[in-house]
């Protein structure tokens, strides 16, 4: 008999083979189960309804329905397997939820293969949706995609589990996974781990841990070969006792997680199903694994579960009360932070906190945003004012150029607000509780020198059902294992509480968290973004009317739908076409409802023709051919509105002028020169140049614009003059021509009486596939920074080449406006956009992305397995209309003519109505021009909140002018009084500060 093998390099291959043999001992099929089918439907059918329907006995394999169809199957449980010791194996291509006793019992999918059949169970109902599932599994499921042939059901089987084999297999697997991770850390070892054939690298210089693990596994396989499962269990028990971890290592706090996209490769109705599917899975796992903790965000999902299955939601509430299920997140949905306006972000959190209050009796202190595409610098201030102390994300580790330097840090807003932030790396939010993942998490935790714990969310998202039994088993074995951090399930809020104790030792980051990836989402699906912005303006107008009439809040449902549209795969345009087939009409309906509701609130029988200004800014408007002056936030009779005397507007085939603005055009319809109030805009070339680029991102086409894209563009030429027309109050020049291979463009330059800006309207019949269209304004305003509008305020970014992080920002977000200037910021060029958000600024050349026909995500597959590339899968095909305006910035400028103010007033029209004048006490602001009053929020009983924010990074004060009998109290976003209070109506403000004033009638 030979001594123990000296060739430990052969252990991995032998151990892998033994592992497979152990797995084969876990499950034993007992019998196939009879299954009946109740038909499929496009709409949701409840369990109560389906029980009344006729059912058909089926045999596997069986195909049914199309993508996103729903169906029910019925399984009769024979008496012999009602003993509580059998499991159901359900082989179905879609996502399935087992119902027992009317309650969603467990989710079954590619990551959750079996569920226990409870003792005495006579029947199981399976609700199934035809959905791609287990998207984030590694490796992905090896199976054909769902197509028009239907979703495939392959059978239901009753099985028995060998619990000894189950335990032994997980004991063995964790050690083998740890061995593999340690192997991959040994640079001398070149042979692929576990290679079964060929030369195996000798273990000449490897870690002590690797040698010991290899020997223990060799001994375990010997025990298995000689004595079976009982012998290997005894061997492994001894191994774990000898490989205990050391307390000085960093700890890993595990939290169960299932990131859920409310829309993406599925529509909203599917995400409701997915929420039930996942919640049922976790609820069942918590029975089997009492140590499991789970965190989930998005009150919108909890409401969906409450609607679909009140009994399940009751069970979830009990889990929440026990402390093991943690509602976390602050916002109602995991929202995009770059595209919504500031007020929309605030409402997403305020509405979300109402949901968390309902779920757990208190608001959430953590904003949980694992998967969004950039982080506005407005967030820290919004969070601080809404009582949110902590911020969590993972997406920054997707940066393509430079690695984000911190894991735990203080995130500061430009106003000085702070929130404690944590960023995880690795595979983000779909961790599998593998030794290698946990060890990687420890080594990548940048603040391990000051904090002894890191956070790791675990579980499969997007319908993967979250945590699996296998993850729970691995977690038990990784609590105290040599070479790995001590690991245990725990609460997310307790992790942040521990991080708070070392707050003073953490680094700080000031300003936006720019994601160096997914830049295309600022432009993709421009029509969607235009309707979204129109809906925002409609709610703004509706709420203003309520303020003017002394009424309370508008329809809460309208805000919830608006917030849902902020979801990070909705408004960015990164979902399948079916999502937008539903979204576009809904957003239009929402905008129309806001306008009709506004008129209803304002109108009175027997009244006069009036005009209502929904903005808390005074403004000049053209109404019925005359320029009229409108005070802020009030309705006035037309006969009482002053008509301003203005110079005539003039137009020729190459010029426009209105006494303030004078513009000359070349024959291609580009701007040769422009003067505002006698001051020229210094140009490097003609402004308004259209550039067309081939747009083929290397990955995530709907999401990204590659840097190389912007080097391969061609100037659009061939446009020619069409017509000029002019009225007393408006002049217009029109140019048109071909764009690209098959598109047509019409450009209207519009100059209105008394206006300081030139409006430009592009009407394009867009037929280009995978092309990007940008417009450029090359100026000589060559300062170090350009300024871009943000949800509240503005974000300065470098416009000069050189630094790596600056070069990585080749496409950036701008909320409705951007400006290039000299370093003094005393003069510059600004561009205002009605509903475009993607910008470029380099050396005085300011560019705006107008259209991109990216290939959108799709779940439709052809028989060959290829995607359907019909035109419906390229965004924004067909006629598109885009509106922008350009002007010259000069300091000082009146508040109403600053770009942030014009971005509000140019595209928020006044409302005509028949009724009586109305007001809510606001006369305006004097001084402090960079402080912008931007929104009026009704509170009821003649109380309303005025939202203001500083836009240009300046400090100062402004005098608030109110009508007699009105007063102002400074409050936070949650309505709490804050200091300093206005004195004598004077408001002091800091750079980029967000302020709220409660205006009340005495």
Dump pLDDT digits (tens) for 56-74: 999 999 999 999 999 999 9
pLDDT, mean of residues 622-627: 89
Q: What is the mean pLDDT of the chain?
A: 94
What token pair was written down for 207?
A: 């870690």
Question: Would you state the pLDDT for residue 135?
Answer: 76
Average pLDDT over residues 585-591: 98
pLDDT above 70 (res 492): yes
Quote the crossing angle between the two packed helices 469-477 and 268-288, to the nearest 10°. 40
pLDDT interval class at 142 (50, 70, 90): low
Instruction: Give the separation between CA 102 and CA 54, rounded to whole angstroms.
Output: 18
String of DSSP letters for 911-950: EEEEE--EE-SEEEEES-TTEEEEEEEEEETTEEEEEEEE
pLDDT at residue 190, as a whole number? 80
833-845 pLDDT, tens digit per residue, is: 999 999 999 999 9
User: Distance between CA 417 and CA 423 in Å, rounded?
Assistant: 19
The candidate with the shortest Cα–Cα distance to 699, out of 476, 997, 400, is: 400
Contact 339, 522 (CB under 8 A): yes
pLDDT at site 427: 57
Q: Is the pLDDT of residue 428 over 50?
A: yes
CA distances, 964 to each of 125, 133, 844, 921 (Å): 67, 63, 48, 8
Whether 910 has a pLDDT exceeding 50, the answer reads: yes
What pLDDT, on a 0 to 100 scale, did the predictor assign at position 358? 98
276-302 pLDDT, tens per residue? 999 999 999 999 999 999 999 999 999
Structure tokens at 795: 């974000």
| Residues 768 and 740: beta-carbon distance below 8 Å | yes
Condensed to tens digits (0 to 9), the pLDDT of residues 708-727 reads 999 989 999 999 999 999 99
What is the average per-residue pLDDT within 613-624? 95
Q: Which of 42-46, 243-247, 326-330, 394-398 has the lowest mean pLDDT?
A: 243-247
Closest by CA to 316, choosing from 308, 376, 606, is 308
Instruction: Using pLDDT thresholds of 50, 70 and 90, give the confidence band for residue 430.
Output: confident
Q: Are residues 359 and 299 in contact, defined by beta-carbon separation less than 8 angstroms?
A: yes
Determine the pLDDT at residue 962.
97
The pLDDT of residue 643 is above 90: no
pLDDT tens digits along 605-614: 999 999 999 9
pLDDT at position 234 over 70: yes
Tokens of 715: 């100037």
Cβ–Cβ under 8 Å, residues 648 and 638: no
Say what the pLDDT of residue 362 is. 97
Average pLDDT (414-422) is 98
- Residue 981 CA to residue 998 CA, distance in Å, equals 11
Do residues 37 and 71 lie in contact, with contact meaning Cβ atoms separated by under 8 Å?
A: yes
Distance CA 651, CA 666 (A): 14
Inform me whether the pLDDT recorded for 438 exceeds 80. yes
Helix boundaries (H) for 143-253: 163-184, 208-242
The confidence score (pLDDT) of residue 862 equals 36
Q: Please state, as a whole number, how many other Cβ atoms lie within 10 Å of the Cβ of residue 199.
A: 9
The mean pLDDT of 852-869, rounded to a whole number, is 62
pLDDT at 864 over 70: no
DSSP 8-state code for residue 25:
T
pLDDT band at 863 (very low <50, low <70, confident <90, very high): very low
Contact 955, 989 (CB under 8 A): yes
**Judging by beta carbons within 10 Å of its beta carbon (0-12, 13-18, 19+), is residue 964 exposed, middle or buried?**
exposed
Cis peptide before 139 (omega within 30 of 0): yes
pLDDT at residue 860 tops 80:
no
pLDDT at 721: 96
Collapsing DSSP states into helix, strand and coil, what is residue 733? strand
At residue 772, does pLDDT exceed 70? Answer: yes
Cis check: omega of the bond before 161, within 30 degrees of 0: no
- Output the CA torsion 400→401→407→412 (10° steps): -110
In angstroms, the CA 392 to CA 76 distance is: 45
CB-based burial, 646-677: b 16+ in 10 Å, e otherwise: beebebeeebbbbebbbbebeebbbbbbbebe
DSSP per-residue letters across 472-483: HHHHHHTSS-TT
For residue 865, the model assigns a pLDDT of 45
What are the structure tokens assigned to 804, written together? 């790596």
CA distance 657 to 670: 16
Return the pLDDT at 188. Answer: 82
Q: 569 φ, ψ to 5°?
A: -115, 10
- pLDDT at residue 869 tops 80: no
3-state secondary structure of 524: coil
344 pLDDT exceeds 90? Answer: yes
Q: Which of 386, 397, 387, 385 is nearest to 431 (CA)?
A: 397
Dihedral of CA 913/916/919/924: which sign? positive
Q: How far apart are CA 390 and CA 421, in angstroms?
A: 6
CB 766 within 8 A of CB 880: yes
Specify the DSSP class assigned to residue 513: B
> Rounded to the nearest 5 degrees, what angle is found at the Cα of 439, between the Cα atoms of 437 and 440?
65
Token pair in block for residue 524:
């993709």
Looking at residue 143, its pLDDT comes to: 59
Could you list the beta-strand ranges (E) of 353-461.
Answer: 366-368, 390-393, 408-412, 418-423, 453-458
Instruction: Using the structure block, give the residue that is written with the tokens 């659009």.
Output: 716
The sign of the torsion formed by the CA atoms of 577, 580, 581, 582 equals positive
Contacts 24+ apart (CB under 8 A), 181-187: 181/434, 181/435, 181/436, 181/439, 182/206, 182/207, 182/209, 182/210, 182/213, 182/483, 183/12, 183/210, 184/436, 186/210
Give the integer Cα–Cα distance in Å for 544 and 944. Answer: 9
75 within 8 A of 34, measured Cβ to Cβ: yes
Residue 1002, pLDDT score: 86
Shortest CA distance to 876 belongs to which of 774, 801, 974, 768? 768
Determine phi and psi for 894, rounding to 5 degrees. Answer: -60, 150
The bridge status of strand 785-789 relative to strand 794-798 is: antiparallel
pLDDT confidence bin for 141, thresholds 50/70/90: low
Residue 975 CB neighbours (<10 A): 12
Span 656-667, average pLDDT:
97
**Distances in Å between the alpha carbon of 685 and those of 59, 664, 689, 777?**
72, 13, 9, 8
| Cα–Cα dist 864/869, whole Å | 13
Q: Please give the average per-residue pLDDT across 936-954, as a whole number.
A: 96
Length of the chain (residues) = 1002
SS3 897: helix
Lowest mean pLDDT of 32-46, 81-95, 234-248, 795-809, name the range.
Answer: 234-248
Going by C-alpha positions, the residue among 830, 833, 826, 827 that lies closest to residue 846 is: 830
Which residue is it, tokens 């959190």? 349
Model confidence at 532: pLDDT above 90: yes
Instruction: Tell how strand 251-256 and strand 453-458 pair up.
Output: parallel
CB 171 within 8 A of CB 236: yes
pLDDT at 776 over 50: yes
Mean pLDDT over 406-412 rounds to 97
Terminal CA-to-CA distance of the chain, rounded, Å?
Answer: 100
Per-residue CA distances from 411 to 112, 378, 414 (Å): 38, 11, 10
Mean pLDDT lowest among 58-62, 191-195, 271-275, 512-516:
191-195
């Amino acid at each position: 008999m030979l001594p123990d093998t000296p060739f430990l390099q052969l252990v991995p291959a032998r151990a892998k083979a033994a592992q497979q043999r152990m797995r084969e001992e876990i499950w034993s099929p007992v019998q196939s189960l009879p299954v009946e089918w109740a038909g499929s439907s496009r709409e949701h059918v409840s369990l109560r309804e389906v029980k009344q329907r006729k059912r058909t006995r089926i045999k596997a394999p069986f195909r049914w329905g199309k993508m996103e169809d729903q169906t029910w199957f019925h399984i009769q449980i024979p008496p012999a397997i009602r003993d509580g010791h059998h499991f159901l194996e359900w082989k179905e291509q879609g996502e399935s939820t087992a119902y027992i006793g009317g309650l969603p019992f467990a989710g079954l999918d590619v990551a959750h293969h079996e569920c226990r059949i409870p003792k005495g169970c006579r029947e199981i109902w399976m609700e199934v949706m035809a959905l791609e599932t287990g998207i984030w599994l590694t490796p992905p499921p090896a199976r054909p995609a769902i197509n028009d042939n239907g979703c495939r059901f392959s059978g239901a089987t009753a099985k028995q589990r060998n619990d000894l084999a189950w335990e032994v297999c997980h004991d063995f697997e964790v050690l083998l996974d740890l061995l593999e991770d340690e192997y991959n850390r040994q640079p001398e070892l070149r042979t692929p781990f576990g290679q079964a054939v060929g030369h195996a690298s000798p273990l000449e210089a490897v870690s002590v841990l690797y040698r010991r693990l290899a020997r223990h596994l060799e001994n375990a396989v010997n025990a298995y070969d000689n004595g079976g499962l009982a012998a290997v269990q005894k061997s492994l028990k001894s191994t774990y006792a000898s490989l205990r971890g050391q307390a000085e290592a960093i700890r890993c706090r595990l939290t169960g997680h299932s990131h859920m996209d409310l829309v993406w490769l599925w529509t909203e109705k599917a995400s409701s199903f997915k929420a039930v599917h996942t919640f049922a899975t976790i609820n069942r796992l918590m029975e089997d694994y009492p140590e499991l903790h789970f965190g989930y965000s998005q009150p919108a999902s909890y409401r969906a579960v409450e609607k679909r299955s009140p009994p399940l939601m009751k069970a979830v509430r009990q889990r929440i009360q026990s402390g093991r299920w943690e509602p976390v997140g602050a916002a109602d949905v995991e929202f995009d932070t770059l595209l919504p306006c500031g007020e929309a972000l605030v409402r997403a959190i305020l509405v979300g906190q109402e949901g968390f209050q309902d779920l757990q009796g208190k608001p959430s202190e953590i904003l949980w945003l694992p998967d969004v595409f950039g982080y506005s610098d407005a967030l820290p201030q919004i969070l601080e004012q809404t009582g949110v102390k902590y911020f969590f994300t993972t997406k920054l580790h997707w940066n393509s150029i430079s690695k984000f330097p911190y894991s735990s840090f203080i995130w500061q807003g430009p106003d000085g607000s702070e929130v404690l932030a944590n960023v995880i790396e690795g595979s983000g939010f779909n961790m599998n509780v593998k030794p290698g993942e946990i060890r990687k998490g420890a080594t990548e935790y940048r603040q391990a020198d000051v904090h002894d714990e890191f956070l790791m969310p675990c579980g499969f998202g997007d319908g993967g059902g979250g945590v699996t039994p296998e993850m729970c088993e691995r977690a038990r074995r990784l609590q105290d294992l040599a070479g790995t951090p001590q690991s245990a399930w725990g609460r997310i809020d307790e992790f942040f509480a521990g991080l708070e104790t070392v707050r003073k030792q953490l680094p700080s980051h000031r300003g936006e968290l720019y994601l160096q990836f997914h830049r295309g989402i600022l432009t993709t699906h421009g029509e969607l973004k235009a309707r979204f912005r129109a809906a925002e303006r409609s709610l703004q107008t509706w709420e203003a009317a309520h303020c003017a009439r002394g009424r309370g809040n508008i329809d809460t449902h309208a805000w919830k739908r608006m917030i849902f549209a902020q979801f990070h795969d909705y408004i960015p345009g990164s979902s399948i076409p079916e999502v937008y087939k539903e979204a576009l009409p809904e957003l239009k309906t929402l905008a129309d409802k806001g306008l009709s509701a506004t008129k209803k609130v304002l109108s009175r029988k027997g009244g006069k023709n009036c005009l209502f200004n929904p903005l808390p800014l005074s403004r000049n408007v053209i109404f019925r051919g005359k320029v009229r002056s409108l005070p802020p936030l009030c309705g006035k009779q037309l006969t009482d509105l002053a008509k301003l005397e203005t110079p005539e507007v003039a137009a020729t085939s190459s010029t426009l002028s209105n006494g303030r603005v004078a513009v000359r055009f070349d024959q291609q319809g580009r701007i040769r020169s422009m003067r505002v109030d006698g001051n020229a805009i210094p140009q490097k070339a003609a402004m308004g140049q259209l550039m067309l680029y081939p747009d083929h991102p290397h990955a995530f086409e709907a999401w990204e614009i590659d840097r190389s894209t912007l080097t391969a563009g061609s100037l659009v030429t061939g446009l020619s003059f069409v017509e000029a027309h002019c009225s007393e109050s408006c002049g217009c020049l029109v140019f048109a021509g071909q764009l690209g291979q098959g598109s047509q463009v019409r450009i209207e330059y519009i100059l209105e009486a008394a206006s300081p800006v030139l409006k430009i309207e592009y009407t394009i019949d867009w037929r280009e596939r995978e092309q990007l269209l940008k417009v450029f304004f090359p100026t000589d305003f060559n300062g170090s920074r350009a300024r871009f509008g943000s949800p509240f305020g503005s974000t300065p970014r470098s416009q000069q080449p050189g630094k790596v992080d600056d070069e990585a920002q080749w496409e950036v977000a701008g909320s409705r406006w951007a400006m290039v200037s000299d370093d003094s910021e005393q003069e510059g060029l600004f561009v205002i956009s009605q509903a475009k958000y993607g910008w470029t600024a380099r050396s005085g050349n300011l560019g705006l992305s107008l259209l991109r026909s990216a290939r959108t995500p799709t779940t439709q597959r052809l028989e060959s397995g290829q995607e359907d590339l019909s035109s419906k899968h390229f965004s924004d095909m067909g006629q598109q209309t885009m509106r922008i305006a350009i002007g010259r910035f000069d300091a000082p400028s009146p508040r109403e003519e600053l770009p942030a103010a014009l971005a509000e007033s140019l595209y928020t029209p006044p409302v005509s109505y028949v009724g009586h004048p109305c007001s809510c006490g606001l006369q305006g602001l004097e001084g402090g021009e960079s402080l912008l009053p931007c929104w009026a929020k009704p509170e009821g009983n003649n109380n309303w909140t005025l939202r203001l924010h500083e836009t240009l990074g300046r400090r100062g004060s402004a005098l608030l002018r109110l009508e007699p009998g009105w007063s102002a109290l400074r409050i936070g976003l949650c309505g709490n009084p804050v200091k300093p209070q206005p004195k004598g109506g004077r408001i002091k403000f800091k750079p980029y500060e967000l302020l709220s004033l409660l205006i009340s009638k005495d």
